[in-house]
Amino acid sequence: MDDGDREALLAHTVSIDFAQGQIFHEPGDPIDQIYFIEHGVVSAVAVLQDGRTVETVMVGCEGVAGGLAAAVPQVAFTRNVAQMNGAARRIEAGRLRQLVNDRPAIRAVISAYLAALQSELEQSAACNALHRAEQRLAKWLLRCHDRVDGAAFNLTQEYMASMLGSQRTTVNEAAQSLQKSRAITYSRGRITVTDRAALERAACECYRAADVFRLRL
């Protein structure tokens, strides 16, 4: 976007801070507010009837939480929850829809992002069905690492299992394997990426194939 379009968008936003665990939308909620993430990580999480959850989309500084409502009014299909502390620019969904209609450059950027998000979802379907837990955990940690400042972040095994749709024991075994390869260290819910190259070698091909963070709009 050029400066004029960017300023037109920012003029209707409010800066907010959010904490790990904060929920932006629950399934079935009208998406009245849309969040442009400045730093931190927000996950879209599918919630099953038995209470189990699995991450469907990860959003960081490259993306938007609730972006589907930028085109037409929408209700949330998933829970949007902060994975890590961060900050965002919040805008009323109706106001963003008006800007999208009035300003082609904003519409083009939002459309390109949503198209990339769709390709990520399609790749994830194959990844979850075919790739080993260690590969998927490495990919997920890389995507977190891309979106945070520094090499360390707080993530419990229970939380990682929930995001990956795996048993806690499975995630524990995968994390231990990554520790043995010296890609990460993990202690008391805090993960540190110690060898980025080793973590990339452990990850499946999906990290590079569908990582929205690498999209250049």
Residue with tokens 């209707």: 12
Task: Give yes or no for a contact between 12 and 97, defined as CB atoms under 8 angstroms apart.
Answer: no
Q: What is the rounded CA–CA span in Å between residue 127 and residue 211?
A: 12
* DSSP annotation string for 35-74: EEEEEEEEEEEEE-TTS-EEEEEEE-TT-EETGGGGTS--
* Cα separation values, 150 from 28, 85, 154, 175, Å: 35, 13, 12, 19
Whether residue 213 is predicted with pLDDT greater than 70 in this model: the reply is: no
Helix 93-102 × helix 104-130 angle, to 10° = 120
Q: Go through 77-104 and write b for each residue having 16 or more CB atoms within 10 A of its CB, e for each that does not.
A: ebbbbbbbbbebbbbebeebbebbeebe
Instruction: Determine the average pLDDT of the residues in 200-215.
Output: 75
In 3D, which of 123, 145, 160, 120 has the Cα closest to residue 198? Answer: 145
The vertex-154 CA angle with 151 and 155, nearest 5°, equals 115
Mean pLDDT of all residues belonging to the chain: 90
Share of the chain above pLDDT 90, in %: 61
In 3D, which of 208, 61, 44 has the Cα closest to residue 123? Answer: 208
Residue 195, judged by CB atoms within 10 A of its CB (0-12, 13-18, 19+), counts as middle
Instruction: Determine the average pLDDT of the residues in 29-43.
Output: 96
- Counting runs of H as helices and runs of E as strands, what totals does the chain give? 8, 9
Instruction: Determine the average pLDDT of the residues in 6-11.
Output: 95
Residues 71-98 pLDDT 10s: 999 999 999 999 989 999 999 999 999 9
In 3D, which of 126, 127, 125 has the Cα closest to residue 137? Answer: 127
Residues 44-65 pLDDT 10s: 999 999 988 888 889 999 899 9
For residue 214, the model assigns a pLDDT of 52
For residue 138, the model assigns a pLDDT of 94
Whether residue 215 is predicted with pLDDT greater than 50 in this model: the reply is: no
Residue 49, judged by CB atoms within 10 A of its CB (0-12, 13-18, 19+), counts as exposed
